[in-house]
Amino acid sequence: MSAVLADRTGINLMSRCGLKGFTLIELLVVISIIALLIALLLPGLDAAKESARAVQCASNEHTIILGVLNYAQDNHNMYPEGWNGSTSWDVLVKPFGVPEKSLICPSHTQGTRHYWSNANFDNAHRVFGDPLQTGIICSGFSVATDSLIAPSSTVAFTEIRDQNASYAFGGVSVPGGGWGSMLFAFEDLFILQYRHLGHEDVALADGHVGQFTETDLLADGYRKFHRKQLSIRALDARGGRSGGRGRRN
């Protein structure tokens, strides 16, 4: 009896206050507005999340390049080799403050090492130990830190392309492995994915990290990838680059 009185009291109170329940149409309108707001907000949330991942990625690369420079201080000012015949640069610099967790970018999904060194983009010089490789942390070869013309604009590391066996014969990039340790051939310049809202996190040889669009990173004949700041046009003029695809480490 008390429950019935309570219900009637509630109904009478709603009637006196002029209140009524939602109609089906009104509910559908409200739901539609909420769905629209979610659709408008989600891209902004996704962009915010990606910005946070980009910050973590840049922090990783900063850790890596500082470890590389610390390595150089203990090794006659020489950068580590990208691949020395038995192991890769990340193993060589690990004792200098570069833990394996710093090799993982949260925006990548393949492999467990998401950065590769600037070794070479001149297809005529892809032999292990060739001193004419264009980069600084190369296959069987490296250079002195004080030999660079413009270290603040010379690439040391970029993010690797997410890759697996279906993409290329080498499989995924893992710590200590040769595959995926180095940007090693001309076509490697064009497979970077610019995952961070159209930007690539890049560690420069002097120790700082920047974000670049594809246009900025590959500007002026890819000069940022040549330790002598030569462009690909200069290489072409002296016949230094050959075409075709080749092995990528």
Q: Residue 217: what pLDDT?
A: 96
Q: How far is CA 161 from CA 27, 82, 116, 129, 248, in A?
A: 47, 17, 9, 24, 12
Decide: 201 and 211 in contact? Cβ < 8 Å.
Answer: yes
Q: What is the pLDDT of residues 57-101, one digit of tens each?
A: 999 999 999 999 999 999 999 999 999 999 999 999 999 999 999
Every domain of the chain and the residues it spans: 26-237
Q: What is the CA radius of gyration of the chain?
A: 27
Beta bridge partners of 183: 118
Six token digits for residue 214: 């594809």
Residue 239: Cβ within 10 Å count: 8
User: Is the whole-model pTM more than 0.85?
Assistant: no
Residues 6+ apart with CB under 8 A from 169: none
Q: Residue 35: what pLDDT?
A: 78
Q: What is the pLDDT of residues 160-200, one digit of tens each?
A: 988 765 555 667 899 999 989 999 999 999 999 999 999 99
